[in-house]
Amino acid sequence: MDYQMQNTLLYVENLSVAYGEKVVIKDVSFVEKDVTREGSVTGQVIAVVGRSGRGKSTLFRALTGLIKPTTGKILIADVATGVENDAKEVHEGDVGFVDQKYTLFRNKTIYQALMFALRHKDFSKEEKHNTITKYLQEWGLEKAKDQYPCELSGGQRQRTAIIEQILCSGHYMVLDEPFSGLDIGNIEDVKKAFSLITSLHEFNTIIYSTHDIELAVELADSIYVIGYPTIDGKTADYGTIVKHVDMKERKLAWKEYGVEHLEVVKEIKAAMLTS
Ligand SMILES: Nc1ncnc2c1ncn2[C@@H]1O[C@H](COP(=O)(O)OP(=O)(O)OP(=O)(O)O)[C@@H](O)[C@H]1O
Ligand SMILES: [Mg+2]
């Protein structure tokens, strides 16, 4: 499938993050550009996989500006200036984040939280109500809409957190393990949300982590494996990018999942097992 690369949307150079003295990720560099295809709006879907503790969530906290890197820089496109290829350093709030624990406002019901997510949108109260009602119905949350987070199941919290970010994010959205703990119907809902988001605007970029390699290979057009690198025959104790699979280059992006995708799954699993 033909595609072109345009503006740089995400530029990460020489990133490292430490908690106190402990370096958790190091030497992380990558570039993601706006991918365009004639006749369709094509947002970017980027998957990050890797074994537990390798630093996926840490990378995400840096990408969303929640923690300050020890070294390196993270730039995102600054669309507000209208200047092509203008970039700025990422700051907290620039990138929507659904964290692994699905943090919600403790004292807001689902409905109130979603209303709050729409606070900056130029909609009438009725439009906001209708938008929220539509999501609640589609995502099976209608009955729970007046419940508080402590009264919700894990899956309900997660879906609320995802809808919240869909409603208030700009072009960038980072989701830490959005598929874990969901039933098969909810997984389809999240998949649909991904394709909806990426069809809305060229610049829309979803970055997500998952332990389900099939879901990385099926949905992403770019996949990064974070693992411990092997240096001089020894396994290092910090995470870095040990493999990148460009599904576009392999002509597997935006394509029905098939035998060739399964080959990529195997390749990624092999890379994970040695890192
Ligand atoms: N706030 C923190 N303070 C100190 N160490 C931390 C902190 N958060 C994470 N770590 C450590 O950093 C390393 C990477 O953790 P991180 O949560 O980024 O991994 P992960 O790849 O997201 O794992 P998982 O797949 O289990 O979610 C781990 O060794 C973890 O113990
Ligand atoms: Mg994590």
What is the distance in A from the centroid of ligand 1 to the CA of 228?
13
What is the distance in A from the centroid of ligand 1 to the CA of 208?
16
| pLDDT score recorded for residue 138 | 85
pLDDT per residue, tens digit, the chain (275 aa), is 689 988 899 999 999 999 999 999 999 999 999 999 999 999 999 999 999 999 999 999 999 999 999 999 999 998 777 777 778 999 888 899 998 888 899 999 999 999 999 998 889 999 999 999 999 998 889 999 999 999 998 888 988 998 998 888 889 999 999 998 888 988 988 898 899 889 989 999 999 999 999 999 999 999 999 999 999 999 999 999 999 999 999 999 999 999 999 999 999 999 999 99
| pLDDT score recorded for residue 154 | 83
E strands in the chain: 4-19, 22-36, 44-49, 71-77, 87-89, 96-98, 172-176, 205-209, 222-227, 230-231, 234-235, 240-246
CA distance 138 to 143: 12
- Ligand number with the minimum distance to the CA of 239: 1
DSSP 185: H
Nearest residue (by CA) to ligand 1, atom 29, is: 53
Q: Is 159 helix (H, G, I), strand (E, B) or coil?
A: helix
Tokens coding 124: 């009438």
Q: In what order do the strands lie in the sheet with 87-89?
A: 22-36, 4-19, 71-77, 87-89
- 96 close to 173: Cβ distance less than 8 angstroms: yes
- 209 close to 48: Cβ distance less than 8 angstroms: yes
Number of Cβ atoms within 10 Å of the Cβ of 119: 9
Q: How far is CA 152 from CA 104, 146, 156, in A?
A: 11, 10, 6
CA distance 210 to 54: 13
CA distance 260 to 113: 42
- 229 close to 67: Cβ distance less than 8 angstroms: no
CA distance 45 to 42: 9
| pLDDT score recorded for residue 1 | 67
Q: Find, among 44, 34, 45, the residue nearest to 4 by Cα.
A: 34
What is the distance in A from the centroid of ligand 2 to the CA of 258?
28
What is the distance in A from the centroid of ligand 1 to the CA of 57?
7
Question: Which amino acid appears at position 117 of this protein?
Answer: A
| Distant-in-sequence, close-in-space partners of 50: CB < 8 Å, separation ≥ 6 | 56, 209, 225, 226, 227, 239, 242, 272, 275
Residue from 23, 24, 97 whose mutation best tests the ligand 1 pocket (most atoms within 8 A of CB): 24
Residue with tokens 């460009």: 246
Atom of ligand 1 nearest to the CA of 51: 25
Q: Enumerate domains of the chain plus CATH numbers.
A: 4-95+171-185+197-273 (3.40.50.300), 104-168 (no CATH)
Residue from 16, 21, 56 whose mutation best tests the ligand 1 pocket (most atoms within 8 A of CB): 56
Pocket of ligand 1 (CB under 6 A): 19, 24, 50, 52-58, 100
What is the distance in A from the centroid of ligand 2 to the CA of 57?
4
Q: How do the residues of the chain divide into helix, strand and coil, expressed in percent and rounded to 5? A: 35, 30, 35
